[in-house]
Amino acid sequence: MALLSHSSIALGGASASASDYLRSSSNGVSGVSLKTLGRAMVTTTRRKDLYVTSRLKKGKKFDHPWPANPDPNVKGGVLSYLSTFKPLGDTQKPVTLDFEKPLVELEKKIVDVRKMANETGLDFTEQIITLETKYRQALKDLYTHLTPIQRVNIARHPNRPTFLDHIHNITDKFMELHGDRAGYDDPAIVTGIGTIDGKRYMFIGHQKGRNTKENIMRNFGMPTPHGYRKALRMMYYADHHGFPIVTFIDTPGAYADLKSEELGQGEAIANNLRTMFGLKVPILSIVIGEGGSGGALAIGCANKMLMLENAVFYVASPEACAAILWKTSKAAPEAAEKLRITSKELVKLNVADGIIPEPLGGAHADPSWTSQQIKIAINENMNEFGKMSGEELLKHRMAKYRKIGVFIEDLPIEPERKVNMKRRDAVVSTSQNLDGEVEKLKEQILKAKETSSEDEPSSEVLNEMIEKLKSEIDDEYTEAAKAMGLEERLTAMREEFSKASSEEHLMHPVLIEKIEKLKEEFNTRLSEAPNYESLKSKLNMLRDFSKAKAASEAASVKQEINKRFEEAVDRPEIREKVEAIKAEVASSGASSFEELSDELKEKVLKTKSEVEAEMAGVLKSMGLELEAVTPNLKDVVEQTFVPDENLQEKLEKLNQEITEKIEEVVRTPEIKSMVELLKVETAKASQTPGDTEASQKIETLEQQIKQKIAESLSMSGLQEKQEELEKELAAAREVAAEETEESLKEDEDDDDEDGSESGKPEIINPSFA
């Protein structure tokens, strides 16, 4: 730089040559002789008509843009002398999100315990392990059940890896390219050529800053039209040379200031959209943070769009949406849920094509691991695209965007969405109207009993009344739960129960116990509810109508059976046989069945069996079955068998020995520690019902404890005693079974003498003599 002071008088003199007064605008010097610039660093010359003072500073030599001998095979991901992006000198300060504060408290406890152990020299290993286990479980529970607004906050985390962070980790070489060839270079969009496993790609991505200084320089990742035109130039470059394009999306949106609008922000985005649909090279887009509206779409029209697990992609930020719809940004959590902007939701909607996993804690918890997952995804998808021609890639890209937003009518709605839909308000009859209907129906039933069954109300009327009563009773129970303050607990319990019931494993004992306790509390306090009398009255009505319905159904079935039986018996061949038997019995002069001759007895029994066969056919035609009921000898023995005093004494003694041995085994340190661990796991499971991993741990511990106890019992000789006693009991049961069988045979013989068969239903027609 030169600081020159001279008069406005034209330089001249006898000794001055023409070349001395050549002007140099490039050096910022005008009207000074070149001879003067070649003199000492600071000079002063006095003449009659001239006074000149100059101060010259020697400039610093830079090795820019690359050193004299660059290494063409540089490793480490980036040619450091071709990029201004360098590793940060200081480590980034940890940032704790609001929902992560419980984890910070656990971390603090772990640090305090370790510090105490170092200061006192005591062994706190067990406590540290317990706290670390609790921390890992809490971290897993937190990051596997994130809400949409929490994922938005993770996507905006200040320490989240940026585009260039990932590029350095996944590329073998990377050379950044600058400029839109119109005189501008937007730092919010970075472009460059890089290689992954020997394959060359064109990388384009939004670049946010890692600190305040970088964020200001990068404009917080919000590009201007110059950035989109730079990206467009690189897309044409990649299409010309056949490089696959990989874009990284991480922007809150395009920069929306007046200058950007004047320079054609909308035109730049639209031009990019049109051009990307015509490129004949594979395009893969990866959302690594935020994907805001058109600013993201301008480099996001790809054959496939992948999203990191905690990335978001939206048309408007949750805060902006809440301000528009709810008139306050405080409704951002609800807006984030309604917008369905998370990776899982967008995959369901076919907007995104896949999810790249992140470590627990977010991508900033392990940036290298996250970058490797991105690298794997790039290789897999590019191998798939490599099999397609240019025309096939264009058709594939068009088909991806044509299927977005497709809606087919009459398809079943997803169950989780159906729950959130408002049900149609049911018409609920008042208690007074219901009482009137009940009394009217009761009178009709009583009148039908007194006169004939023809006036009895139909089953449809009874079913309708029972359904009304059930609906009224449900409403009464709901009112009672509200009055007792149990509505929220009942709702939460229903959700836990439905979640546990939807899974294939058995319901957890802790959940069963909670249900029983709540049920017991509800039943105990039900009498205190203000609508208890009304509820009790309706329950009594329901019971009466259920009995009336059952009686009505039984009466109709009985009537149908009698009608069918009469039709069967009135058949000519059966009627002739019955009349013939009646005549023979009357002519024999016998007053009882025993006085009949053997031949006549046989004829009577044969005719009876034919009538029974007809009856069985009638029942089968009505969908009913006739089964012979015989005593089950095993059940009789089990119910009647009582061991003698000697066996009873042996049983009691063996039970006492087994109990003492089990108590002795449980008191051993090994079993005791396992029992304590089982208690801890059971307590954890009670806080997270439906956790399959916790249930498996509990089942494994229970099996191990049972196995240890069984091994101890087998070694003590108690198992042999038990087997011997079981043999004695089996022998005693056999003796009792033989005695019971003999008594049953004697009963059958007595029944045969009375003219009836034991175990068979006896069907008698009143008209049959």
Q: Average pLDDT for consecutive 10-residue bins of the chain (769 residues)?
A: 40 43 41 46 51 55 53 59 73 85 86 85 84 87 90 94 93 91 93 93 95 92 95 96 96 93 94 95 96 92 95 94 90 92 93 93 92 95 93 94 79 53 48 60 62 59 78 83 81 75 60 80 82 82 78 76 75 77 76 72 77 73 60 54 72 80 79 79 71 77 80 75 79 72 58 43 32
735-752 pLDDT per residue, tens: 776 766 666 556 555 544
**Alpha carbon distance 648, 659 (integer Å):** 17
Smallest Cα–Cα separation from 148: which of 293, 320, 317, 341?
Answer: 341
Which ranges of 263-313 would DSSP assign to H, the alpha helix?
Answer: 265-276, 293-297
Instruction: Map tokens 């779409």 to a residue.
Output: 297
Task: Please give the model's pTM, rounded to 2 decimal places.
Answer: 0.49
Cβ atoms of residues 272 and 231 within 8 Å:
yes
pLDDT (0 to 100) of residue 758: 39
Question: Exposure of 269 by Cβ count < 10 A (0-12 exposed, 13-18 middle, 19+ buried)?
Answer: buried
pLDDT (0 to 100) of residue 387: 92
**Alpha carbon distance 444, 457 (integer Å):** 7
Helices 225-241, 265-276: crossing angle, 10 deg rounding: 20
Cβ atoms of residues 207 and 188 within 8 Å:
yes
**Alpha carbon distance 161, 300 (integer Å):** 19
3-state secondary structure of 272: helix
pLDDT (0 to 100) of residue 394: 95
